[in-house]
Amino acid sequence: MKTKLAIFLLSALCLWACEKDKITTDSSAMLEFSSDSIFFDTVFTSVGSTTRRIKVYNRGKYGVKISQIKLAGGAASNYQININGVAGNFVPDIELAGKDSLNIFVKVTINPNSDQLPFIVNDSIEFTTNGNYQKVVLTAYGQNAVFLKDLVIDANTVWNNSLPYVIYNSVKVNTNQTLTIQKGSRIYFHKNAQLKIAGTLKVNGTLNDSISFSSDRLEKIYQDEPGQWGGLHFLSTSRDNHINYAYIKNAVTGVRVDSLSLNSGPKLLLTNSIIKNMELAGLYLDNTELAGFNNLIANCGRHLIYAANGGRYNLKQNTFVNAGSRFPRTTPSLFFSDFSGSGVSKSMDLTLINNIIWGNLADELLIQKSGTLPFSQIVRKNLIKSRDTALEGLGNILNLNPMFKAAEKDNFSLSPLSPAGNKGEDLTADTYFGLWLSKDLNGKARLFPSDLGSYEIL
């Protein structure tokens, strides 16, 4: 009895295996694909894309022989394919068993040309099975760029918006030299790359033509990935820097400034700019001088501003918000201290007026005085997430939700019923009013009492 059962099972197994291995020549046997087209986001010329995968399915009961899988563009194609571990633009006679699948991996590398605007690069993967012709369409946008690696700028230089700039490792603006970046320019950074400024940086963006600083990975999956590049670093000899209408995102630290000004002006004037999604900090400030007006700094891993070792900070009409769930923070959004890790304290001069300081922690502002040197602190007319009741008598609003329109979509403009409406101090006599405080981040005229933060309520 056992012998008969074993023979039966063996026969059934052989029958199943034979059926599975049978190759059909029926012209109705068609392949199916996980997608009938693959689109690559903008790819810089000479820089390869990320790898995309296509799955090819044989849904039928019997196996099929795929006579050929090939790139239509052949050896001249910008695309490269790998079929189940075999690289090549043409692979013949692939048997695909019934109810089975195979993987095709696709990359694209685009050669430079003379175009300034993005251009389309098309191709397709062609399949021939039992006389049937099928294809998967491949599409990518190519973008020419100016590629810079380990460059030291030794003369006054202007970057314009005709082509994007892609930085590898670092670019350094040397002492006593100025790099001016014109409106609409796009600056991209390869992994861990930095822009170092020992001289002067002038970022001349406008409301309608801002200047972007971001990673060179343009694929959609990287658009909100922090920590992709090193940020902007202003060195001790740097002076008279101004960043206006810039959009800085996805670095380790957005902007680092690590010494006091060498003249009567701020070392960095930061206006009308957006800094967001940094792995560590939006601004890392070490005993320096910063004036910041009409900026939005949002959603960074530890701090929006980390300012230690004293310094001089003048911050008015900014929105500071750390409300995202990406980072499990335990540190306040804004941190100011006269103390440094070396154990030495230095003087501090801090002004915070008409700002919004908000986040998902109970205390989003920490001001720490440790030494005996002068420590000036003006904190008034702000909306602050804080349990520090000492701030209440200075016209500050504590712990009332500012009612952003859509914080989950990074829209930090204010709803009409926001408690920040019409609560601002009159700044018309401020030195910076005419140039940088008379309008909000969207270019809307600011009437006093203003709305708090960088946006006036529409």
Q: Which of 86, 110, 142 is the last residue of a domain?
A: 142
Q: Is residue 10 part of a domain?
A: no
Q: Is residue 451 part of a domain?
A: no
Looking at the fold, whether 223 and 241 belong to one and the same domain comes out as yes
Looking at the fold, whether 293 and 383 belong to one and the same domain comes out as yes
Determine the pLDDT at residue 15.
46
Determine the pLDDT at residue 5.
53
Secondary structure of the chain in HEC code, one letter for each residue = CHHHHHHHHHHHHHHHHHHHHCECCCCCCCCEECCCEEEEEEEECCCCCCCEEEEEEECCCCEEEEEEEEECCHHHCCEEEEECCEECCEEEEEEECCCEEEEEEEEECCCCCCCCCCEEEEEEEEEEECCEEEEEEEEEEEECCEEEEEEEECCCEEECCCCCEEEEEEEEECCCCEEEECCCCEEEECCCCEEEECCEEEEECCCCCCEEEEECCCCHHHCCCCCCECEEEECCCCCCEEEECEEEECECEEEEECCCCCCCCCCEEEECCEEECCCCEEEEEEEEEEEEECCEEECCCCEEEEEEEEEEEEEECCEEEECCCCCCCCCCCEEEECECCCCCECCEEEEEECCEEEECCCCCEEEECCCCCCEEEEEECCEECCCCHHHHHHCCEECCCCCEEEHHHCEEEECCCCCCCCCCCCCCCCCCHHHHHCECCCCCECCCCCCCCCCCCC
Looking at the fold, whether 315 and 223 belong to one and the same domain comes out as yes
Looking at the fold, whether 163 and 92 belong to one and the same domain comes out as no
Looking at the fold, whether 334 and 346 belong to one and the same domain comes out as yes
CATH of the domain at 77: 2.60.40.10
The answer to whether the CB of 144 falls within 8 A of the CB of 163 is yes
Looking at the fold, whether 167 and 127 belong to one and the same domain comes out as no
Q: What is the pTM of this model?
A: 0.85
Looking at the fold, whether 151 and 129 belong to one and the same domain comes out as no
C-alpha to C-alpha distance for 55 and 106, rounded to whole angstroms? 11
Q: Which of 121, 142, 163 is the last residue of a domain?
A: 142
Q: Is residue 3 part of a domain?
A: no
Looking at the fold, whether 152 and 250 belong to one and the same domain comes out as yes
Q: Is residue 433 part of a domain?
A: yes
pLDDT truncated to tens, each residue of the chain (458 aa)?
Answer: 555 555 555 554 444 455 556 899 998 899 999 999 998 888 888 887 888 999 999 999 999 999 999 999 999 999 999 998 888 899 999 999 999 999 999 999 988 887 887 889 999 999 999 999 999 999 998 889 999 999 999 999 999 999 999 999 999 999 999 999 999 999 999 999 999 999 999 999 999 999 999 999 888 888 889 999 999 999 999 999 999 999 999 999 999 998 888 888 899 999 999 999 999 999 999 999 999 999 999 999 999 999 999 999 999 999 999 987 677 889 999 999 998 776 778 999 999 999 999 999 999 999 999 888 999 999 999 999 999 999 988 999 999 999 999 998 999 999 999 999 999 999 999 999 999 999 999 999 999 999 999 999 98
Looking at the fold, whether 220 and 322 belong to one and the same domain comes out as yes
Q: Which of 109, 142, 175 is the last residue of a domain?
A: 142
Looking at the fold, whether 99 and 218 belong to one and the same domain comes out as no
Q: Which residues contact 379 (CB under 8 A, 6 or more apart)?
A: 350, 351, 352, 353, 365, 367, 391, 394, 396
Determine the pLDDT at residue 49.
81
Residue type, 439: K
Looking at the fold, whether 179 and 127 belong to one and the same domain comes out as no
Looking at the fold, whether 173 and 137 belong to one and the same domain comes out as no
Q: Is residue 4 part of a domain?
A: no
> By residue range, what is the domain housing residue 271?
145-437
Q: Is residue 302 part of a domain?
A: yes
Determine the pLDDT at residue 18.
53
Total tally of structural domains belonging to the chain: 2
Q: Is residue 13 part of a domain?
A: no
Residue tagged 């309520």 (tokens):
457
Cβ neighbours, 10 Å, residue 337: 21
Q: Is residue 6 part of a domain?
A: no
